[in-house]
């Protein structure tokens, strides 16, 4: 049976997972009466809520007697570690582009990786049913992008399909059909069969799965020879060591699941059960003539955060896993499959430095952990600085903002304050398309400020470019915060009196503790306030003093917004039920002492 391995790459929200849904439905993976719903591949709760793909996944369909392995990849550059290794399993890529937005920064990031691996591209321009879409202009922009990324002549001669994943049609012209069969025929025609070499077994482990029955499962593509059930193999690791191992069970992908197999030949993807102590990037080779494949390299992390145990007064109220041992074990387990993540011990046994690709990358990890029942404290994100030729360098990003023309001045002003430099300014219909080069530090907290200043209309995306010389200090948050002076239950009476001082993050009757951040101050500088004061009740009424209390609803911050909001002396308490911001030092007197000692050190 012939095989095709294809990865689908696209910017966030351009319709990648919907296209996979259509492929699965067209090839009758599900029975006609089976309820599948939408976004079948995004199986993780977090992926469904946010509408983004975080983990790459595999499905396999059969069309015209050809087996097509479909690999759904993340579109966000924060999950670049996931993308790079998964592309190693593919022989071709479908580049999916929105007919209005055109190629975006993240598209560029993944496409560059695919072209470097010599994968054959097919371009699909999606959402041509949308108003003011511009499929022809987008096609030209895609060609220009390929050219800028040094595509080969063969790669530049890419086939293009147009259509609408939502309405279930794709065609090689703008004529609407009633199915996606032209695209399926295109995959078989343009994606080459897997290249296989003659010789004994070689297979690289490119991703992991876990099952409570079978343990850890190694997934990859057999590049040479064949692998059999119960075969004894050599597991070749990155450090050069070779371990003898046995394949207990073999599975190939079929539909959305896996089917047991006795032998898998070169070119196909498979899952291997029974291996011990393997890592991503290891090579499974023939026991008699072991040869290793090149180790997978992944882009370096650009950001770090400190993860510690929860030491607030509300410690242990919500979570099941609260000790430093729980935290350490969970972080170490994550590094096994999350290649772009690194964990280091600190001077304290209760804290760990975690390095990742960006705020979203680290935020997803924290969110996943709290859903699993962990309690922890996370500090504010810091970019990683490198010394190059004796000079301090920091990561820079390419920032793209699409915004209605009337707000473009505000956006430029904001980004310039954060040490960004404008490279491109052009009109796209009624929208202004702006491109900047900005230090990664400048992006922290920028999204919320930008949405506030553009009435929520700005669409921003960014990707890492390179390390460049340090840009100097960047202004952080303008306003201070209001801090709880006393612990207890907040009262409507107190919050009502304090409302003119700031915008609150808590509602009346919420429990707070000393040192918790409960509101944003309207001025710079922090203020300690009493939010738990009860109204003094007397037995006579004064005219005008019993007006109804009017409380503005509290500001709800997501975890990422909290991470961008906090300053150096603040942290976030994360539990399965709550996310609270607080000062690192809860006691007011001790906070003042530590501030004074830091100031005297700075002067000294």
Annotated binding-site positions for GTP: 13-18, 126-129
Cβ distance 444 to 564 under 8 Å? yes
CA distance 479 to 17: 41
Continuous H helices in 397-458: 408-417, 440-443, 446-453
Closest CA to 82 of 162, 149, 7: 7
CA distance 358 to 340: 10
Identify the bridge partners of residue 342 per DSSP, sorted by sequence position.
355
CA distance 295 to 281: 5
Cβ distance 517 to 570 under 8 Å? yes
Q: Which residues fall within 8 angstroms of residue 421, CB to CB, at 6 or more apart? A: 436, 437, 438
**Reading across the β-sheet that carries 120-126, which strands appear in turn?**
57-63, 66-72, 2-10, 92-98, 120-126, 160-164, 169-171
Continuous H helices in 37-86: 45-50, 80-86
Question: What distance lies between CA 218 and its chain's CA centroid?
Answer: 23
Region for residue 9 given its phi and psi (left: phi exceeds 0; alpha: psi -120 to 50; beta: otherwise): beta
CA distance 38 to 188: 25
- Tell how strand 2-10 and strand 92-98 pair up: parallel
CA distance 67 to 599: 67
Identify the bridge partners of residue 98 per DSSP, sorted by sequence position.
126
Query: What are the binding residues?
Result: 13-18, 126-129
Burial class (CB in 10 A: 0-12, 13-18, 19+), 214: middle
- Locate 242 and state its tokens: 């070779």
Helix, strand, coil in percent for the chain, rounding step 5:
25, 35, 40
Inter-CA distances, 10 with 96, 105, 110, 115, 272, Å: 5, 10, 8, 14, 29
Q: How many CB atoms lie within 10 A of CB 216?
A: 17
CA distance 9 to 77: 11
CA distance 369 to 474: 31
Continuous H helices in 54-101: 80-86
């Amino acid at each position: 049976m012939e095989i095709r391995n294809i990865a689908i790459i696209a910017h966030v929200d351009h319709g990648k997972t919907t296209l996979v849904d259509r492929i699965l439905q067209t090839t009758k993976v599900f029975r006609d009466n089976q309820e599948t719903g939408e976004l079948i591949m995004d199986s993780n709760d977090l992926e469904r809520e946010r509408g983004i793909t975080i983990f790459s996944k595999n499905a396999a369909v059969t069309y015209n007697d050809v087996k097509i392995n479909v690999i759904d990849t993340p579109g966000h550059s924060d999950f670049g570690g996931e993308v790079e290794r998964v592309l190693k399993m593919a022989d071709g890529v479908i580049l999916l582009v929105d007919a209005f937005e055109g190629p975006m920064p993240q598209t560029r990031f993944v496409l560059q990786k695919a072209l470097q691996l010599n994968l054959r591209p097919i371009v699909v321009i999606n959402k041509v049913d949308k108003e003011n879409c511009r499929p022809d202009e987008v096609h030209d922009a895609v060609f220009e992008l390929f050219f800028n990324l040094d595509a080969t002549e063969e790669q530049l001669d890419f086939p293009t399909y147009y259509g609408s994943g939502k309405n279930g049609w794709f065609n090689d012209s703008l004529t609407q059909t009633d199915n996606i069969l032209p695209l399926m025929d295109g995959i078989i025609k343009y994606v080459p069969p897997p290249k296989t070499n003659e010789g004994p077994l070689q297979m690289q482990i490119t991703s992991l799965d876990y099952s409570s029955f079978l343990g850890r499962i190694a997934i990859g593509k057999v590049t040479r020879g064949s692998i059999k059930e119960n075969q004894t193999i050599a597991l070749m690791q990155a450090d050069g060591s070779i371990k003898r191992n046995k394949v207990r069970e073999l599975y190939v992908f079929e539909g959305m699941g896996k089917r047991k197999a006795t032998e898998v030949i070169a070119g196909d993807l498979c899952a291997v059960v029974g291996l011990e102590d393997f890592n991503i990037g290891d090579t499974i080779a023939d026991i008699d003539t072991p040869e290793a494949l090149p180790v997978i390299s992944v882009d370096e992390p650009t950001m770090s955060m400190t993860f510690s145990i929860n030491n607030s007064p509300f410690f242990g109220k919500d979570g099941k896993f609260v000790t430093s041992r729980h935290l350490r074990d969970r972080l170490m387990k994550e590094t096994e499959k999350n290649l772009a993540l690194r964990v280091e011990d600190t001077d304290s046994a209760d804290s760990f430095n975690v390095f990742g690709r960006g705020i979203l990358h680290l935020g997803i990890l924290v969110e996943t952990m709290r859903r699993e029942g962990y309690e922890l404290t996370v500090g504010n994100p810091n970019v990683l600085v490198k010394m190059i030729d004796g000079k301090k360098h920091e990561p820079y990003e390419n920032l793209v903002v699409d915004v209605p023309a009337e707000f473009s001045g505000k956006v430029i002003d904001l980004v310039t304050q954060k040490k960004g430099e404008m490279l491109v300014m052009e009109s796209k219909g009624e929208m202004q398309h702006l491109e900047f080069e900005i230090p990664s530090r400048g992006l922290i907290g920028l999204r919320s400020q930008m949405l506030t200043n553009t009435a929520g209309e700005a669409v921003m995306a960014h990707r890492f470019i390179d390390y460049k010389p340090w840009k100097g200090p960047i202004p952080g948050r303008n306003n201070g915060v209001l801090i709880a002076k006393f612990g207890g239950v907040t009262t409507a009476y107190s919050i009502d009196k304090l409302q003119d001082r700031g915008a609150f993050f808590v509602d009346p009757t919420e429990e707070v503790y000393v040192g918790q951040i409960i509101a944003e101050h309207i001025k710079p500088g922090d203020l300690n306030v009493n939010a738990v004061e009860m109204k003094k009740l007397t037995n006579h009424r004064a005219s005008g003093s019993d007006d109804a209390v009017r409380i503005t609803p509290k500001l709800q911050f997501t975890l990422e917004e909290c991470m961008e909001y906090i300053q150096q002396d603040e942290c976030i308490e994360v539990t399965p039920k709550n996310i609270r911001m607080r000062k690192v030092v809860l006691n007011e007197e001790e906070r003042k002492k530590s501030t004074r000692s830091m100031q005297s050190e700075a002067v000294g």
